[in-house]
Amino acid sequence: MTRLELLELIHNGENSGVEFKRDTIENHQLAKELVAFANHSGGKVLFGVDDDGTIIGLTRSKTEEWVMQACRDKIRPEVIPFFEILRDVEPGKSVAVIEVDRGWSVHHVWHNNHRTYFMRIGSTSREASQEELERLFQQRGAFRLEIRAVSGASLNDMDLRRLHDYFSRIRGQECPSSENLRAWEELLVNTELMIQESDRAIPTVAGLLLFGITPNKFLPQAGIDAVAYLGTEKDYAARERTHLRGPITPLLSEGGLVENGLVEQAIAFVRRNTTITAELRNGARREERFAYPDEAVREALVNAIAHRDYLLSATNIELSIYGDRIEIISPGRLPNGITPERMKAGCRAARNQLIKDVMRDFGYLEHMGMGVPRKIIKSMQEYNGTEPDLVEDGERFIVRLYERRG
């Protein structure tokens, strides 16, 4: 880092990636800032700079040795920061830059025989709440919400019809009889759709979302809030508003669809609330054409259901139809370092692997993992010449599909 780059950082003030600190602080106070950065997206501590941006300079001897010792003694798992000293930033005053990258695991401060997890929120570092900590562990791949037991639920809350269809028809394996509940519990525990706790088998989050009779009874976030607006902006006036609820999976039989799953409900909502035009094919045959290609709508909905952050318990998936576009908003940040650009290139990562696997078994997802570039981007380009938007906006991910433009 050059002196000018450092002065620009100081001029811009503290933010999500920059913290000012005098070098007279205790080692656990430095550890707090570095842990918060590592648990966020990385960041820099400018050592020798006061909170208001005044350059105080370094007063401690052997600063680098002290910093590295603090990281070894006070941070778990240990971090090794990048360290450099810029001499004479102002006459006789030097500043140390201590930088950490985003951690692969979740870090905490170890002080007075107690561990404390910190997160960076704006320009401050504070202790993580229980919900924030769970989400952090989930993002780092150390915690799987989908196989957590759902308190109060039992096998009676699982739809044995859907389960029988899944295991027998789709997976091609023998199933217990509907009366043999112990055998069903054993099968579902072995496939992580239930979990054994003490002497009880309890449905997991994934089990209820996929095959629950009424998932929203236990998981209020298990659904889609769908609205079809009359114009191109949100409005109290709407063509239709509804809450789509129920298990993700459909009930099928040899004769076809018996009951819709969540995906089919959402696709039906889109079809009845988007324009249909008629085109002549081969000179005479009249053919209906929907405003959006089915495969793009289906893929966007499936991705929202399969990959949303179910730890955000107060937020549903949003499906909004406007006069010129469809917006599908999935709660939560993209998982495991995925970005919209990586999605467009076909990079794959799953927050809810079990849900993803079962939806793939039903044919909702392809095995190649190329749904976004092939089914959303390419199909929209070929269907009506538009480019869909993929946007990460804070704690939500948005897919916008546009109707054909003039």
Same structural domain for residues 126 and 258? Answer: no
Same domain, 104 and 34: yes
Check whether 141 has a pLDDT greater than 70.
no
pLDDT reported for residue 369: 64
Q: Are both 151 and 104 inside the same structural domain?
A: no
pLDDT at 103: 86
Q: Are residues 63 and 157 in the same domain?
A: no
Mean pLDDT for 366-395 is 87
By mean pLDDT, which of 130-139, 245-254, 288-297 is the weakest? 130-139
Whole-angstrom CA distances from 31 to 45, 47, 66, 132, 322 are 10, 13, 12, 19, 49
Domain's final residue, options 214, 237, 259: 214
pLDDT above 90 covers a percentage of the chain that reads 71
The stretch 368-397 carries a mean pLDDT of 89
Instruction: Give me 328's structure tokens.
Output: 């599908």
pLDDT at 199: 84
Q: Are residues 339 and 202 in the same domain?
A: no
> Could you tell me if 266 and 362 lie in one domain?
yes
Mean pLDDT of 153-164: 96
Q: Domain ends where: 97, 123, 143?
A: 143
- Rounded CA gap, 102 and 94, in Å? 26
Query: What predicted TM-score, i.e. pTM, was given to this entire model?
Result: 0.70
Q: Which is nearest to 313 in space by CA: 219, 187, 394?
A: 219
Q: Are residues 96 and 168 in the same domain?
A: no
Residue 98's pLDDT band (boundaries 50, 70, 90)? very high
Are 102 and 246 members of one domain? no
Mean pLDDT across the stretch 164-191? Answer: 94
The region of weakest confidence among 32-46, 154-168, 256-270, 360-374 is: 360-374
CATH of the domain at 24: 3.30.950.30
Among positive and negative, which fits the CA dihedral 183, 187, 190, 192?
A: negative
Q: How many CB atoms lie within 10 A of CB 275?
A: 11
Query: Where residue 290 falls among pLDDT bands split at 50, 70, 90?
Result: confident
Number of domains in the chain: 3
- Dihedral sign, CA of 375, 378, 382, 385? positive
Whether residue 26 is predicted with pLDDT greater than 70 in this model: the reply is yes
Indicate the SS3 state at residue 16. Answer: coil
Lowest-confidence segment of 93-97, 246-250, 324-328, 332-336 by average pLDDT: 332-336
**Which of 206-220, 306-320, 338-352 is most confident?**
206-220
**Residue 263: pLDDT over 70:** yes
On the question of pLDDT at 306 being above 70, the answer is yes
pLDDT of residue 167: 95
Residue 204 has what DSSP assignment? B
Task: Indicate whether 204 and 243 sit together in one domain.
Answer: no
Q: Which of these three, 214, 233, 257, is where a domain ends?
A: 214
Q: How confident is the model at residue 142 (pLDDT cuts 50, 70, 90)?
A: low
Cβ burial 58-78 (10 Å sphere, 16+ → b, else e): beeeebeebbbebbeebbbee
184 shares a domain with 65 = no
pLDDT score for 275: 81
91 closest CA partner among 42, 48, 129, 55: 55
Average pLDDT, the chain: 90
Q: Are 82 and 99 in contact (CB under 8 A)?
A: yes
Write the pLDDT tens digit of every residue in 54-66.
999 999 999 999 9
Whether 406 shows a pLDDT value over 50: the answer reads no
Across 102-116, 191-205, 232-246, 281-295, least confident range: 281-295
Report residue 204's pLDDT band, with 50, 70 and 90 as the boundaries.
Answer: very high
Of 102, 103, 126, 117, whose CA–CA distance to 41 is shortest?
102
Average pLDDT over residues 231-243: 92
The pLDDT of residue 114: 93
* Average confidence (pLDDT) over 300-313: 90
At 138 the pLDDT is: 73
HSE-CB at 250 with a 13 A cutoff on CA atoms is 17
Confidence of residue 162 (pLDDT cuts 50, 70, 90): very high
Do residues 159 and 260 both lie within one domain? no
Q: CA of 272: how far to CAs of 235, 275, 305, 321, 373, in Å?
A: 19, 8, 21, 11, 26
**Could you tell me the residue range of the domain that residue 172 belongs to?**
146-214
What's the CATH code of the domain at 228?
A: 3.30.565.60
Do residues 82 and 165 share a domain? no
Task: Give me the mean pLDDT over the 228-240 stretch.
Answer: 92
